[in-house]
A and B are shown apart, each in its own frame.
Chain A
């Protein structure tokens, strides 16, 4: 196990230490006093565990391909940018543009997430990316989503508070978004519609939501007490009449 006091460290020095140790075979990292260092987990390229105590900087796990990262604080913008594989667990809230163009791996956020979460998420062959947010989300959740699985739980939602912002699933043309509770129709993008869950959905929920609940010590059945629904694109070509010859 490698424990690093990251206080005041420049991000390149910190990431270099992690990478070199990982390449030498180290698999357990604990980073204390992290504050704002960017790109943690980027370029590590193997299955290591990184525990971050403190607020990591932008682009946490950008292009990540394997590491399991646990953040014991809030996290900032652009987590899991173009992520390919691995797991990011944030015991707090996260910022905007989370999981941009993510193609694989899982990102679990305990609390709220910002704007444009899961934008351009896609799946390819056996890679199916997953984002689950335990809190509420800003506008454009699942924008341009082309594949993968997103869940928005609103566990901290107070009466009258919306689960998600506007333009939910706007431009979505693949994948599925699961919502715990209801969303007003006017908040939906024009490409998606709400459906009830089927047996396949139940399996998906058990698998990923189960794992999410384990990460944060939540009771799965209790989380499931509220009704879930799903959003899927209703047409693969919502822009049929857009162009003339």
Chain B
């Protein structure tokens, strides 16, 4: 039990491992305590984020993808992540640490499902992205407005219904018409989608679940930025 561990006596690498374990188990208080301890040891906020929280959420993501963890465990891990982030966020802003990218995400017009989309938001945040979540029933104007305002690297769209997924094509066509389609990556997801659908509507990729979404976002962004994936 982690509450029996005196974290001040742990070596820093052990403490980073502990954060990852506590994230995995969704233990928010324990994560917060370890974040504070690492900061007290003069670790930079961005190291605490990347070596602790992000590394931990990556393991959660893999096990979610592989069917070892399910939505409840991921939601609890995301809550623990959020608790740790609340301490780190102001420090990261202060130190001017750069985020790895910005994501604008929403469930498309006519569709009111947001559990999966919120999971993606939390895991992308966990991976170090700045996430602007537009919520459900998002029409093309709301997407365009948010893109103009936040200049995202990635646009994420979600749909749970066969009757609403076609609206994604409407949004992509609007991006093409405005001549801004190439400025961002478009990732799509949702129960009825598949690779062929993403290709047909000229999205950059279909992401089967939140973990695949994070992997794909990182990979495609690295390629786009000319870095080795």
Are these two chains actual partners, yes or no?
A: no
> Which residues of A are at the interface with B, using a C-beta cutoff of 8 A?
none
> Which residues of B are at the interface with A, using a C-beta cutoff of 8 A?
none
